Amino acid sequence: MTNTPDLPAPLAGNLDVPPSVWAGSHRVEEQLPEGLIAVYTRPQGLILDTTGTALLPAITAGRRCIAFVPTDPTTLLDTTEQRALGQIRLVDPDDLPTAVSAYTDEADLVIATSDAAHSPGWWPAVRGALRTGGHLAVMCATPDSHAGIVTGAAAVGLAFTQHLVTVSGAVLDEAVTTEANLNDRKRRRRAHTRSHRDVYVFANPRRPV
């Protein structure tokens, strides 16, 4: 039997989870899926990706991944290994809950945007798709896009485990080195917005033994 590492235990009912900062040297969009895959999945585990960002990082890490995209993909699966681990499925955004619900108790990780998380039927669908101990990561690009996400997850029994603030070091360094030239608050806010993204992570709690 292959031993798999324990994933972080859920903090059931805790809505005051302190944020953790993930800092990187490249664009947030490029590094965030890699970090989520490394922390929240097991070898050969299944990832359901509704963001279009995790397919190749998942395959590189030896995970299976199904990417749900609304239009013809720009990423193609060229090799036999890629086709064995990855799938690309054209799905209208309104149909994401139905597509996700087809994978009952299978997913180690579901990665979604805040738009997907606000789709009707999303929360029961993702709760059903996650295996016991699996995780949902919701990416929020704007400060107000997280509204209702924590309460929506709690309503279907998902536990809020972590609030991640991802910071791109390359953009952060640029903002710091040019700070003397940023005399108005509007330009400062723009530099900050480009450099970070909020991610809310929820767990499908383990059943009592």
**Ramachandran assignment for 125, one of left (phi > 0), alpha (psi -120 to 50 degrees), beta (any other):** alpha
**What's the chain's average pLDDT?**
75
pLDDT class of 168 with cuts at 50, 70, 90: low
Q: What are phi and psi of 199, to 5 degrees?
A: -130, 130
| Under 8 Å between Cβ of 72 and 93 | no
pLDDT class of 144 with cuts at 50, 70, 90: low
Question: Looking at residue 10, what is its pLDDT?
Answer: 34
Question: Looking at residue 187, what is its pLDDT?
Answer: 45
The fraction of the chain above a pLDDT of 70, given in percent, is 65
CA 37 – CA 81 distance, rounded (Å): 18
171-182 pLDDT tens trace: 333 333 333 333
Which residues lie closer than 8 Å to 127 by C-beta, 6 or more apart? Answer: 156, 157, 158, 204
pLDDT class of 21 with cuts at 50, 70, 90: low
Among candidate residues 129, 151, 174, 138, the one with its CA nearest the CA of residue 26 = 174
Residue 84 has pLDDT above 50, yes or no: yes
pLDDT class of 77 with cuts at 50, 70, 90: confident
Q: Which stretch of 14-23, 44-53, 85-94, 106-115 has the lowest confidence by average pLDDT?
A: 14-23
Of residues 192 and 202, the one with the higher pLDDT is 202
Both structure tokens of 134: 């699996």
Mean local confidence (pLDDT), 47-66: 93
Question: Looking at residue 143, what is its pLDDT?
Answer: 64
Of 62-66, 68-72, 143-147, the range with the highest mean pLDDT is 62-66
111-140 pLDDT tens trace: 999 989 888 999 999 999 999 999 999 998
Give a three-class secondary structure readout of the chain: CCCCCCCCCCCCCCCCCCEEEEEECCCHHHHHHHHHHHHHCCCCCEEEECCCCCHHHHHHCCCEEEEEECCCCCCCCCCHHHHHHEEEEECCHHHHHHHHCCCCCCEEEEEEEHHHHCCCCHHHHHHHHEEEEEEEEEEECCCCCCCCHHHHHHHCCCEEEEEEEEEEHHHHHHHHHCHHHCCCHHHHHHHHHHHEEEEEEEECCCCCC
| Under 8 Å between Cβ of 162 and 138 | no
pLDDT class of 66 with cuts at 50, 70, 90: very high
Task: Kindly list the structural domains of the chain, giving each domain's residue range(s) and its CATH number in brackets, ordered by start.
Answer: 28-164+198-203 (3.40.50.150)
CB atoms near residue 14 (< 10 Å): 11
Question: Looking at residue 32, what is its pLDDT?
Answer: 83
Residue 52 has pLDDT above 50, yes or no: yes
